[in-house]
Amino acid sequence: MVFNQWLDMKPSEFLEKYNIYADLPLNRWINKEDMSTEEKKEVSGWEEMGGYLKTLEFKESCKVWWNENEDRHDDFINLPNFNIDTFKEITGIDTEEKEEKVTIKISKKSLEALKESGIEIVE
């Protein structure tokens, strides 16, 4: 069964034909500069370690993998019976949503103020 629909194929045939292995990240190191104010309050020892090891929830892990492996998107989107809603329900990934990247130049002082306010900054 693939995306809640039967498929006329043995599991071994499916695995041979489709490459759907995804090495999902379970943890991510978060540098102290990238920690939100909330994280700094909740995580003990971050000052001594210079950050902390964050355990990712399943859907967050899926999104991180998806964003870091754009060349693999078609491996999943082209699966038989692919269903956008089912995929989103399982992974939290909206395959139709395109992330637009922008560059903003600000002073170092303003950057630090944004980080301290808890806003997530991607550098």
For residue 110, what are its two tokens?
């303003």
Element (H, E) at 53: strand 51-55
Per-10-residue mean pLDDT, the chain, length 123: 87 89 94 93 95 96 94 93 94 82 77 80 70
Q: How confident is the model at residue 110, as a pLDDT? A: 81
Q: What is the pLDDT of residue 40?
A: 95
Of 31, 25, 120, 27, residue with least CA distance to 69? 25
**104 vs 123: CA distance, rounded Å:** 10
Distance CA 55, CA 34 (A): 15
> Is the pTM for the entire model greater than 0.75?
no
